[in-house]
Amino acid sequence: MTPSWTLRADRALPSDPEVRPIAREIYTTIADLPIRSMHGHVDVTVLARDEAFGNPAEVLVTPDHYLTRMLVSQGQSLVSLGVLDRATNTKEQDPREIFRRFAEGWHLFRGTPTKLWMEHVLVEVFGVQERLSGETADAAYDLISDALKTDAFRPRALLDRFRITKLATTDGAADSLAHHHRIAEDLGEGRIVPTFRPDPFLVLDAPGWRTQIHALAEACGTTVETYAGYISALEMRREAFIAAGASAVDIGVTHLDTTPLSDAEASRIFDAALASTVTPQEAAAFCGHMLTEMARMSTEDGLVMQLHSGALRSHDPAVRDAFGADVGYDIPIAMEFTRALQPLLARFGHHPRFTLILFTLDEDTYSRELAPMAGVYPAVKLGAPWWFLDAPDAMRRGREAVTETAGFYNTTGFVDDTRAFFSIPARHDLSRRIDAGYLARLVAEHRLELDEAIAVAYDLTVTLPQQAYARK
């Protein structure tokens, strides 16, 4: 007999019998607070069109690289999970079969945060009553499929059900913002907002860079034939994003450097990129320079600057070429921040209009570099443990590594950074449970009073995300 599926009320709370009741009391005060999803990758067209979602496989399995990468590591192929192989134009066409493969591999997720998130989604959101397995896959598929066809499961209805009061998408710098303007007309300004993502325009030797520059010029209704024109176009697009409600910029880097270049040198390298003669060393120097330029722009327009670092993208080039990016082949790498950020922070670390939120996959840097920076530079805030680190133990380690040096109030609260719309409440709930457990231990050790811990829990959930992502 398949076990029934009931989620335990104290899941992810500390097991210590003295600490758990305190954690439960703290968690209860924040469990039902609204969600401010200030950094993520939900497709804005989904919210603009407000159409019914597709089948369970394309909603829950195929686009979620947390799921697919684990199944691939155990012998499945991306094609068998519904990801299109662009070289052969093939993929599994039967969504029920894709979902069965996921269900048959459910045991592979034991001990992972993916299991905790998906349990929340399947049980709390869709009402699945039997634990996933090959035997229960079809029943679960039918239940979810029927739910997805109803108006209650349309995207905007779920915004209300999930108590999401603000959601930031991530949008390319040249993207049309028409969908955001449409949503603002329907739902009011400020509920769904774009985030400015300039990455493809900063890496001069990336494939397709000149195509991206043409797109940038077209979006601005101008030409981009010089470095000065390039800077002007980026500034124009930032203003367009601000007009659509944006409060933040998001930049992802593999190599971190913020050494500024002279205008003459930046112009020379930009011209070399247009002529397809730029060297990797020149491109890297230009990218570092542009990080400082992005900071300079933020001091002028007030956009919060998010910097994500520590991931080597598309580790397997053959997979990238066949399936594209974001299919689970990004691997963490070591980072250095102290020297790399010194030029930027020397110029802007105390600027009243600048906020720099730092995310990394290299948790060794938390206590050694990031917390000391956030603990002294007013501009620096520490983002939540991200990606491979958004797991219970890693989030606890993050709090332990950061709090003693930077405190709670130099952090941003939780960001879910997800494409999986249905997992947003699950991810925020897990973060709230981990924070409640950490605060409860401080209370049990008489390092905080209970009322202080409850106040901090509220601030981590509501106040700090509002403050950190407020355009100045």
C-alpha distances out from residue 346 to 163, 258, 303, 304, 338, Å: 40, 10, 19, 18, 11
What pTM, to 2 d.p., does this model score?
0.96
CB 127 within 8 A of CB 153: no
Q: Which domains does the chain have, with CATH numbers?
A: 19-52+158-468 (3.20.20.140), 53-153 (1.10.2020.10)
Q: How far is 66 from 61, CA to CA, in rounded Å?
A: 9
Q: How far is 30 from 457, CA to CA, in rounded Å?
A: 7
- Angle between the N-to-C axes of helices 19-30 and 424-444, in degrees from 0 to 180, rounded to the nearest 10: 140
Q: How many other CB atoms sit within 10 Å of the CB of residue 216?
A: 23
For tokens 């050790």, the residue is 445
Q: What is the pLDDT of residue 4?
A: 79
Nearest Cα residue to 39 out of 252, 295, 288: 252
Q: What is the pLDDT of residue 2?
A: 62
Q: How far is 205 from 212, CA to CA, in rounded Å?
A: 12
Instruction: Write the burial class of residue 205 (CB in 10 Å: 0-12 exposed, 13-18 middle, 19+ buried).
Output: middle
Q: How far is 316 from 213, CA to CA, in rounded Å?
A: 27
CB 289 within 8 A of CB 259: yes
**Buried b vs exposed e over 355-378: b needs ≥16 C-beta within 10 Å?**
bbbbbbbbbebbbebbbbbbeebe
CB 309 within 8 A of CB 256: yes
- Three-state DSSP at 357 gives strand
The sheet with strand 196-197 has its strands ordered as 171-172, 196-197, 248-253, 304-309, 356-360, 380-382
pLDDT in tens, the chain (472 residues): 566 799 999 999 999 999 999 999 999 999 999 999 999 999 999 999 999 999 999 999 999 999 999 999 999 999 999 999 999 999 999 999 999 999 999 999 999 999 999 999 999 999 999 999 999 999 999 999 999 999 999 999 999 999 999 999 999 999 999 999 999 999 999 999 999 999 999 999 998 999 999 999 999 999 999 999 999 999 999 999 999 999 999 999 989 999 999 999 999 999 999 999 999 999 999 999 999 999 999 999 999 999 999 999 999 999 999 999 889 999 999 999 999 999 999 999 999 999 999 999 999 999 999 999 999 999 999 999 999 999 999 999 999 999 999 999 999 999 999 999 999 999 999 999 999 999 999 999 999 999 999 999 999 999 999 999 999 9
Q: Which structure tokens are listed for 187?
A: 């739902």
Q: How many other CB atoms sit within 10 Å of the CB of residue 17?
A: 7
CB 323 within 8 A of CB 315: no
